[in-house]
Chains A and B, each alone.
Chain A
Amino acid sequence: EVQLVESGGGLVKPGGSLRLSCAASGFTFGSYTMDWVRQAPGKGLEWVSSIVSTSTYIFYADSVKGRFTISRDNAKNSLFLQMNSLRAEDTAVYYCARQPLTIFGAQGFFDYWGQGALVTVSS
């Protein structure tokens, strides 16, 4: 069974840092493109960042570029999001999500999601 479990959320002051982790199990983690997607309170889903299986290609939303860093450890089946210079508008539930894989590569949508980690940025 595919499982994605986020951790590392919490309360942080504006300008502070936080590191989210996502532990993956039930599939060959090192073969898949992984993403972070967030949902601010009362808002919809917003894609944040994506990393391909080999970490060769990494993408960020403009809203987090230069402040957030996505990374992965395939040996430990783990995905990370380092969040620096946090702002109030970064307050959200952060989900890790998997892009399904075919012979054509990563598919661009998300077939499995974690339960999410709440990040609150407030003084």
Chain B
Amino acid sequence: EIVMTQSPATLSVSPGERATLSCRASQSVSNNLAWYQHKPGQAPRLLISGASTRATGIPARFSGSGSGTEFTLTISSLQSEDSAVYYCQQYNNWPPWTFGQGTKVEIK
């Protein structure tokens, strides 16, 4: 099973600042990595697939990069509505499909 590790656990960022979230895989997942945004009481929302391809309707301030075992989600200019927990998920080796433990983004 591929273990996904996210850091940091919590990120506190001022509005308009950049937020950088990291995700590491225990072995290579090529570019088969997705990012999700999850707000309390809501359905998770797909942000990025293929490590760097934004999903339909996702603002350009969200970008993904990386391949192999190291990945990054960047929110270039944080907005108040970006407060959420963000998860990475690998889909290179399955089953199981595995998620990171999440990074909580807080607005300062």
A binding-site residues for B, Cβ under 8 Å:
4, 35, 37, 44-47, 50, 59-62, 95, 97, 100, 107-116
Contact = CB atoms under 8 A, between A and B. Distances in A.
A50 B43 CA distance: 18
Nearest to B98: A47
A44 B100 contact: yes
A111 B50 CA distance: 12
B2 to A, nearest CB: 12
Contacts of A44: 85, 87, 99-102
Given A59-B94, A95-B43, A47 B49 contact: no
Contacts of A111: 46, 49, 55
Given A109-B49, A115-B43, A47 B55 contact: no
B34 A59 contact: no
A104 to B, nearest CB: 12
B44 A109 contact: no
Contacts of A60: 95
Interface string B35-55: 010100011111001000001
23 contacts: A35-B97, A44-B85, A44-B87, A44-B101, A45-B87, A45-B89, A47-B96, A47-B98, A47-B99, A50-B95, A61-B95, A61-B96, A62-B96, A95-B44, A108-B92, A108-B97, A109-B46, A109-B97, A110-B36, A112-B46, A114-B43, A115-B42, A116-B43
A61 B36 CA distance: 20
Interface in B56-92: 85, 87, 89, 91-92
B32 interface: yes
